[in-house]
A and B are shown apart, each in its own frame.
Chain A
Amino acid sequence: MKDKWFYKKSQHFILSFSSLLLAICSFIWLWYPDKAISGPYLNSAHGNTSYGVNRSATGFPADYARGNCAHCHEQHASIGGSEPNPTGGPSKFCLLADNFSGVTSKPYSQSDNVCFYCHINTNTLQSPSFSNYSYSITFGGNPDTTPNNIFDAFNSLSYHNLYDTYRFITGLSGSHPNFTNFPSDSNPCSGCHNIHIAQKSCGKPSGSFDTTKSAISKPSDHSNLWGDSAGEKMSNYTGGYQAPYYNSAVTYEPDGSGSSDPSKLPDYVTFCTDCHNATNTINSALLGRTLYKINWANEMHGGYVADYCSKSGQSLLAVPYDGITKCGQYVTACTDCHEPHGSPNNFLVRKQVNNGTVTVTQYGEGLGPDGRDNKEWVYLCGRCHTNLNAGDLHTHPTGGGLGCMQCHPGGGNYRNCMDCHFHGNSSIDGTPYGKPLF
């Protein structure tokens, strides 16, 4: 009896389960045909069926599916006997336009970089037009929504120079030990983005944020995304990472949530130091020199134990940084201060940092928030460090060879903060200070 009962029940169960499974599979296949079998490209921003590439141009068929290869690649440099807009092909890698013009500096025009044909506001080929806001807008909540596209960002006061980037990643200048994925005709954007896998992680300022997605790939690991999984987040830094405020004193980067969660932010330190580290030589045609080398492990804002957090019982760190209980533990992410593409400030410094506006356009020699000369950097540093304005507690330590004249060479105003406080520096006027000064 028991066997019969079990036999019948088993049959019934298998039949029901099979039917259910078939129904589920059919539903997924019918309604989500792409999602059911999607791979890295269909999961990418460019291959997304909702917001992926979609060229609208003279001579280009209007009925290719969004995300189709043809929006960016022309297999025969023509469609239907003639080349759709933009014309002038064939172009390398079968692209719709020339990859990079080789122009050495801004102002950039749309034709200087194939990516600018879509990542631009005016005359974009992407339909519908769209915005790519800067980092401080997207992940910092800055209500000032300019620049709102990549092209404008690269035409800002400071920018990640495309020519320098192109020459560095392809090995035409500078030195790095481990970049192998960039042939001589690579697009400079590809140094940080693998466009076939890069994802849209954030729809901010109005959309949502997905910590499992990422738009970036380390130059040394071009075939994989960086920052999309555990082990590639700022939470890797034990002790550590405190997210800045997100346009208010109660919300935090990168998504505007009510608490700081280092596991939400890609490990931008590891990402950026793939190039900007202590060993790579990076030439800057614009600056006419090599960039300062950065040993992040030995920087105050990095791995060095920065234990000068209070004086006379006052915290020298602003909220949300707790200068007392976490002193010596903090690390910062590069993007806490810097934009990746371009900025209206010098050195790609963000327009808004830790819930405050930053204006640094004269390399620190302009007026500070308190109206003093050479105090322009206080706009930035003052977002996290206190007592930097006139009348505040004098925070600079003295003694140990550091006298008044090191900072006040004329006996009056401060010299430019940047004379001492820059990446990689540990000397004052050539004299070793004994510890990093940035």
Chain B
Amino acid sequence: MINTKNDVTYQKSRHFHLRWVKFFLCKILYSLLFLLFCLFCQNLPLEAKVTGNCSNCHTMHNSQNGETMIILGPGEIDTSPKGNLLRASCLGCHSKTDGSTWKDPATGAPIVFNSQQPSYNSVMGLAGGNFYWVQTEDTYGHNIFPNNPDEILTVAPGASYGVGCGLNSCHNNLYGTNTNFGTRQGCSKCHMMGNSSGPTGYHHINTNGTLVESADQGWYRFVAGHMSGDGYGVAGIEDSDWQQNPSASVHNEYLGWSATKTSAGGFSSSGANVITAYCTGCHGNFHIEQDASYVWIRHPSDAIVLNSGEFAVAFGASGGTGTYDPLIPVARPSLSGWTGPSSTVTLGTDLVMCLSCHRAHASPYFKMLRWDYKSSTLSTALSGCNVCHTSKN
């Protein structure tokens, strides 16, 4: 009798257990289907040019019902009319006072400055990082704030260009204002540069989905050369959501070029439309990476990641092919014919570049690095290095 009672209890328990398993499996199935749907949507070509009504960005009289139409960014107070009938400075459109918005819902503008700590992804910023981090710590990024200038650096480390452009040359700092090529301060010291008198109007060009490699396309993220670098710009493939949620197969792509490494960088020196050439327009001496006997004297940039020694297993590679890691991006020697990002890293072909280690805007870490190189836990500090330097773990 007792045994029968126990059997019934057991059967009930087992039945309940099976129902729970079925429920759990269904949940997983639905989640996978939803994930697949999301991935499908992610790969659709989306608009990245500014969208919506003209009045989202422009104002005819800077007045509506007697009120100013200027959109102020965090810390801004100037509501006077702006050039090109714009309603905002760069930060006016590309910033938010919260930490959760990564794209302006009206204009589609990527948010590069959240005045609250970014919370929308694990790296706490978009592909270039977030200027939030440099508000209180100058060593965490490029300081673009005129009212909160860099207290440590007055000249770009490794500067080799821009001599004679004045104290607030673009090559010296980003927070000051100069009038060398139109009035430039902050963002416009890097973006929409050309030999023209003012910022170029790249915002109206749709550049998503395919390779961006010319001025007609606005260059990659609107970054181009001038003076000796005139006619050059950065080539790449722009992720449609600025790597808000990157993966091995969803990310930006960058062009690299293994040019001479015994002289200062810049477009004219490199002769290629590569991001490293752009960075070294200000940090040129950092591109003097080899001495006369071609021994590395600075960390390589735009150098091929070898398929030998400890590098043979970089990026988890086997047989020369590894998995792309958006935390440690590589550049490609050619993007010709590319229509989207690749999920693989080809050792002996792909290149390490400035952005392999640094974020362009700012990061939560010292020297705008992509990982916490100053972590008190050594394995964490070296975690980024170990992606390539696999035996130094």
Residue of A nearest to B287 (CB): A76
Among B296, B375, B379, B390, chain A packs the most CB atoms within 10 A around the CB of B379
Cβ of A1 < 8 Å from any Cβ of B? yes
Give residues 355-402 of A contacting B (CB, 8 Å): none
Instruction: From B6, B158, B378, B386, give the contact of A34 (CB < 8 A).
Output: B378
Scan B298-314; emit 1 where CB is below 8 A from any A CB, else 0.
11000000000000000
Contact status of A68 and B381, CB under 8 A, knowing A77-B298, A94-B296, A183-B295: yes
Residue of B nearest to A92 (CB): B295
Question: Nearest Cβ in chain A — how far from B288, in angstroms?
Answer: 7
Task: Report the interface size class on chain B.
Answer: 35 or more
Contact status of A90 and B288, CB under 8 A, knowing A37-B393, A68-B373, A80-B152: yes
| B393 and A41 contact, CB distance less than 8 A | yes
| A38 and B381 contact, CB distance less than 8 A | no
| B393 and A38 contact, CB distance less than 8 A | yes
State in angstroms the CA–CA spacing of A42 and B296 once bound together: 24
Question: Nearest Cβ in chain B — how far from A415, in angstroms?
Answer: 50
Cβ of B291 < 8 Å from any Cβ of A? yes
Task: Report the interface size class on chain A.
Answer: 35 or more
| B374 and A42 contact, CB distance less than 8 A | no
B374 surroundings in chain A (CB, below 8 A): 61, 63-65, 68
Cβ of B64 < 8 Å from any Cβ of A? no
Instruction: From B375, B379, B385, give the contact of A38 (CB < 8 A).
Output: B379
Contact status of A33 and B379, CB under 8 A, knowing A4-B10, A63-B374, A90-B288: yes
State in angstroms the CA–CA spacing of A33 and B375 once bound together: 12
Question: Nearest Cβ in chain A — how far from B328, in angstroms?
Answer: 14
Cβ of A107 < 8 Å from any Cβ of B? no
State in angstroms the CA–CA spacing of A196 and B310 once bound together: 12
Given contacts A49-B378, A81-B155, A183-B295, could you give 12 more A-B pairs where the C-beta distance is less than 8 Å?
Answer: A4-B6, A33-B380, A37-B393, A61-B374, A64-B381, A66-B378, A68-B374, A76-B157, A80-B157, A90-B297, A93-B297, A94-B299
Q: 30 A-B Cβ contacts within 8 A?
A: A33-B377, A33-B379, A34-B379, A37-B379, A40-B391, A40-B392, A40-B393, A41-B391, A41-B393, A42-B378, A42-B379, A52-B378, A61-B366, A65-B374, A65-B377, A65-B378, A68-B373, A68-B378, A68-B382, A69-B382, A69-B385, A75-B299, A76-B157, A77-B297, A91-B297, A92-B295, A93-B295, A94-B296, A183-B295, A185-B293
Interface residues of A (CB under 8 A from B): 1, 4, 33-34, 37-42, 47, 49, 52, 61, 63-70, 74-78, 80-81, 89-94, 183-185, 196-197
Interface residues of B (CB under 8 A from A): 3, 6, 10, 139, 152-153, 155, 157-158, 283, 286, 288, 291, 293, 295-299, 357, 366, 373-382, 385-386, 390-393
